[in-house]
Chain A
């Protein structure tokens, strides 16, 4: 316990040092929001990977694999392949045409006020879903580690929240990026060490490991059951399982390419070529990490066992419990501290993307119609917004319990990004005819259908058995109206359809005329934002 605090304290001390350094260098909005656009390819690759390898993956996905085997691994596969979409379609045009937010790209040729107001809304919604996922992970971690140590859950959450506010308010994007880089390195190192320990447990015989994973024993309703964790079907069962799986794939492949806190990272590099190279760096890191999640998850299933996981902190704690089983208290302390650092860093990344969008899209461009009334206003508003986001997320975290899986919560944010942000982003970059009405229709329909279907789906609606122990409690006690837990298969086409129909029902000659400018900028980077 004390060691865990010591490792965590070392992380905090070094990141606060970085924040101090970043705050001294930070002058003007480009420095604050985009780290002066001087982040290099490998640095940004680590930062993007750090943003993506959140509590949702390290705690959530490992937990899904530990309890439900192969089906959980599909979260890892989806999370990785999503970067092909970003690489081929999004990263370079985004870097070449935007300044700080997704809204910048859209408003090149669309009417700025309604479009920016809506993108600020979808950005904040996505960030909040993601934030809840991180906080649930933090809650579970604190519950396991600090139970009975005198440090209460609330104290820990307030501490995390205050640290995150310091990074973002004082250090801006530069500090946030470096916090992510350090954390991505620590997390990758932990995953490698833990993977090696799992393989050593099986004498480095891969087939021995997989043989054990094919007969995982656990208890259901007091009866022992044996399952092959290398086979699909433990989470996604007929009749709706197949559609749910395809739907999950759609959320990943299109949603990641619409996640504001990932996309803003491409504004921190000097040019489109660096943006491209940084995606490839991120793909190498994320891919290796996610392949390891399958070893960690299956390892936890075999070595720790689903029964033990469920009774000792629940699904999100599988990786942590595995570290304890294989490496003892010392390793447990290190891994938990790194998991805390992960949550802290991702929460900071989410906060800066949300507060940037609020300040740049909503305050300056919607309320003040594109002009700073007082000099330095954008940064001031963003800092204030970051403080507000910090306070709100502390309160949310205290109000929430470690009830659901952090990996699944994060997919809700991704569903919004896939259904609202992605269609309008792609159509705006690639379709000459696209216009403001289409963007408004697409953003609204995507946002509303994603949230509506999630609320009407089995994650929120369901009838709990009268004496369920430790199970997830459903918010609405009724049969779900929508049968799938992943809504992408319906909400993504709805977002696209609304954007296309909205476009075709209206005419906006200026939007079409300015497509040439967007196309030239996107493809050759003429007049793109320079490094400062």
Chain B
């Protein structure tokens, strides 16, 4: 079912990798970025409909010419999304290096297949 070539790994091996210090480090490192980033994203995004719905006068403020705060705030969502993407790409270089290290060790244990 898993559709992989070679030996099917046993439960013991998955458990060993999952509980290894290095893998736990990787998870911790990912959590430190992903959880705050996702919470910030949700808060920033849902602030838009909340303010539009419950502070319509504020959002109708004309900032430059006839351009409203609502429109600028909506545009800023695109900047926010691109910024998170850029920061995530930067952070993920570390995740990839650590993941590769764990993979290499697993493969080495199998006798350098």
Contact = CB atoms under 8 A, between A and B. Distances in A.
Contacts of B2: 527
9 contacts: A74-B52, A77-B74, A230-B68, A230-B71, A231-B59, A231-B68, A248-B49, A276-B88, A520-B23
Interface string A76-118: 0100110111011100000000010000000000000000000
Contacts of B26: 523-524
B66 A210 contact: yes
Interface string B14-48: 11011100010011001000100110011001101
B45 to A, nearest CB: 5
A291 B77 CA distance: 10
Interface stretch (A15-23, A167-175, A282-290, A462-470): A282-290
Interface in A204-256: 207, 210-211, 213-214, 228, 230-233, 236, 241-243, 245-246, 248-249, 253
A251 to B, nearest CB: 11
A81 B49 contact: no
B99 A524 contact: yes
A291 B76 CA distance: 11
Contact of B49 (A242, A273, A516): A242
A377 interface: no
A249 B52 CA distance: 12
B23 to A, nearest CB: 7
Nearest to A112: B1
Given A81-B41, A246-B53, A283-B81, A231 B70 contact: yes
B92 A242 contact: no
B4 A527 contact: yes
Given A74-B49, A87-B88, A514-B11, 5 more contacts: A228-B60, A246-B49, A516-B11, A523-B27, A523-B30
B78 A524 contact: no
Interface in B56-113: 56, 59-60, 64-68, 70-71, 74-75, 77-78, 80-82, 84-85, 88-89, 92, 96, 99, 102-103, 106
Contacts of B60: 228, 231-232
A143 interface: no
A77 B23 contact: no
A282 B30 CA distance: 22
A513 interface: yes
A70 interface: yes
A493 interface: no
Interface residues of B, number: 55
Nearest to A253: B45
Interface string A310-333: 000000000000000000000000
Interface residues of A, number: 56
Contacts of A243: 53
Given A73-B71, A230-B71, A253 B50 contact: no
The 7 closest A-B pairs by CB, nearest first: A242-B53, A214-B66, A516-B18, A245-B49, A517-B14, A207-B65, A524-B99
A273 B106 contact: no
A70 B37 contact: no
A275 to B, nearest CB: 11
A162 B48 CA distance: 43
B97 to A, nearest CB: 11
A228 to B, nearest CB: 7
Interface in A498-532: 513-514, 516-517, 519-520, 523-527, 529
Interface of B: 1-4, 9, 11, 14-15, 17-19, 23, 26-27, 30, 34, 37-38, 41-42, 45-46, 48-50, 52-54, 56, 59-60, 64-68, 70-71, 74-75, 77-78, 80-82, 84-85, 88-89, 92, 96, 99, 102-103, 106
Given A246-B50, A249-B49, A523-B27, A80 B92 contact: no
A152 B15 CA distance: 63
A470 B103 CA distance: 62
Contacts of B42: 253
A288 B66 CA distance: 22
B43 to A, nearest CB: 12
A228 B84 contact: no
Contact of A83 (B48, B70, B81): B81
Contacts of A448: none
A233 B60 CA distance: 10
B102 A516 contact: no
Contact of A276 (B27, B92, B103, B106): B92
B18 A232 contact: no
Given A246-B50, A273-B96, A524 B88 contact: no
Contact of B59 (A232, A241, A277, A279): A232
A519 B103 contact: no
Contacts of B80: 81
Contacts of B23: 520, 523-524
A70 B70 contact: yes
B66 to A, nearest CB: 4
A211 B66 contact: yes
Contacts of B88: 87-88, 276
A49 B88 CA distance: 20
Given A214-B66, A242-B54, A524-B102, A280 B9 contact: no
Contacts of A253: 42, 45
Given A290-B78, A523-B99, A280 B85 contact: yes
B78 A526 contact: no
A401 interface: no
Contact of B3 (A279, A520, A529): A529
Contacts of A80: 77-78, 81
